[in-house]
Chains A and B, each alone.
Chain A
């Protein structure tokens, strides 16, 4: 009657821990594995975009489509690595890097004005006009000492977000 289907060996767990820089405890990894299996309905060892969207709380998130581009088809190790930025043990640097990656979808290490505009569009939808969005963004960029055509790199993000008391933590339920 034991719960053998979701048994991870110590080796498996250590391997995953290493992959996510020890941001999760062994207990947490076991919990995440159970959750992973729950989400992986097809049982293929990876979670498809469709399976992620079957969680309504995720599907209604304004950034879900953007996140799906990072999430689609993740296997367990990658799944844990994705979530590691939300661990309380992750450093500020890791968290900022994660945010940067959300902006920098083409992974070229630079965030352009348009990248920022895209995220802002996801967040505000039809409730702000395109023109107004550009206006606001240009304004705050200039105020922070950048120009409309400046390319922001990770260190800029670090500078901007580094001391703002970033709170980005998700607790993994452990039973």
Chain B
């Protein structure tokens, strides 16, 4: 019981309200579970990755020893120093090396030669051709069809899907899509777990989503502000508070438009290594729209698709993918969900997170991904202090 308390405290603080996340299992999950028993083994087990229970509840008269014995708090601190669930979310896990013996090693060397000497140049060529085709048709379409908005939008949509297909081809993306293809209609928003910017490319090659994304520097930023803006993507700067309001307003405007591309949001707000999911930002869940969850799971057999943006530029990440054998992944378009009566947006977000994490077989952690960029608020600590203070006061009255 102690364990649960401390964990829910954390999430409660961030999200202001939470009902035990483990107990929410929507009805339609039953079907999914039975069809994939191997995934059941991967079902998130909350106890596994939460910090070990904080201060135990002692009983009886208060004694000096109860004050001096600060071991539970110390143990918790040392436990976090030795291992913590937050850092684990952002740890790259490269594929297991297999070149460890005398005949596998030459085989691996041969593979390296093929990958770097043959596959890579071919892929660069494919990508270049893709860009030439794309740009030579996008630029005329964009500037010549100014009067025909509908046609222009449609053409641009197809072209963006095309260039994304070229990207996927450039790392031999073996992507299995499960479930119905998203269609265009107002009042719906797609949410997916986030591992790398390539999530977006993989989803975009099927449907031209309008995506909410962090504004990137360099060539990615250039693409964002020129091409992707034409499919209705919205950019923001994480550090600017003013941007948040603007994005929220743009979001609300976007979802009501009949002709707009379907909206895609990565509510984690940051790339996680595909073994864990961090808390979902509630923005996508308070628009009053139907939320369509998308689960993405990468197979690490050839390459780790996690983009560790602090360690690696996106270009390096793409090069890594382009020199691997293939990027293997599964994409599930899951049952659309609506806000249930009496449910807060945060509970709704947690419910959708549950659905995605069960389907993709990834673990949930009660942390906000933005903690990568900032420190946790003092509220978390105050919660711990409060529970200790209350137990002291209670026992004081008992005597």
Contacts and interface: CB of A to CB of B under 8 A. Distances in A.
Binding between chains A and B: yes
Interface stretch (B137-145, B221-229, B247-255, B389-397): B389-397
A35 B391 CA distance: 35
A144 B79 CA distance: 31
A105 interface: no
B186 interface: no
B62 A136 contact: yes
B70 A123 contact: yes
Contacts of B85: 57
Contacts, number: 158
Interface in A56-75: 56-64, 67, 71
Given A53-B375, A55-B86, A59-B375, A164 B65 contact: yes
Interface string B50-80: 0100000000001111111111111111111
Contact of B389 (A103, A128, A139): A128
A116 B68 contact: yes
Contacts of A124: 385, 388-389, 392
Interface stretch (B17-25, B237-245, B280-288, B376-384): B376-384
A71 B63 CA distance: 30
Contacts of A85: 78
Contact of B83 (A35, A95, A136, A144): A35
B75 A62 contact: no
Contacts of A119: 67, 70
Contacts of B63: 140, 143-144
Contacts of A164: 65, 69
Given A124-B389, A173-B82, A63 B77 contact: yes
Contacts of A71: 81
A125 B64 contact: no
A50 to B, nearest CB: 9
A76 interface: no
B99 interface: yes
Contacts of B147: none
A95 B87 CA distance: 27
A30 interface: no
B92 to A, nearest CB: 11
A33 B70 CA distance: 27
A160 interface: yes
Interface in A133-175: 136-137, 139-141, 143-144, 146, 157, 160-161, 164, 166-173
Nearest to A164: B65
B91 interface: yes
A69 to B, nearest CB: 13
Nearest to B94: A1
A140 B10 CA distance: 31
Nearest to B108: A1
Interface residues of B, number: 48
A87 to B, nearest CB: 10
A88 to B, nearest CB: 12
Interface residues of A, number: 58
B47 interface: no
Contacts of A98: 74
A52 B81 CA distance: 7
A60 B371 contact: no
A170 B75 contact: yes
B86 A86 contact: no
B84 A58 contact: yes
A127 interface: yes
B33 interface: no
B385 A125 contact: yes
Nearest to A58: B80
Given A86-B75, A102-B70, 8 more contacts: A38-B91, A56-B376, A59-B375, A62-B388, A63-B73, A86-B82, A127-B386, A127-B390
17 contacts: A32-B82, A38-B91, A56-B371, A57-B51, A62-B388, A64-B381, A83-B81, A99-B68, A124-B389, A127-B390, A136-B396, A143-B63, A144-B63, A164-B65, A166-B69, A170-B75, A173-B82
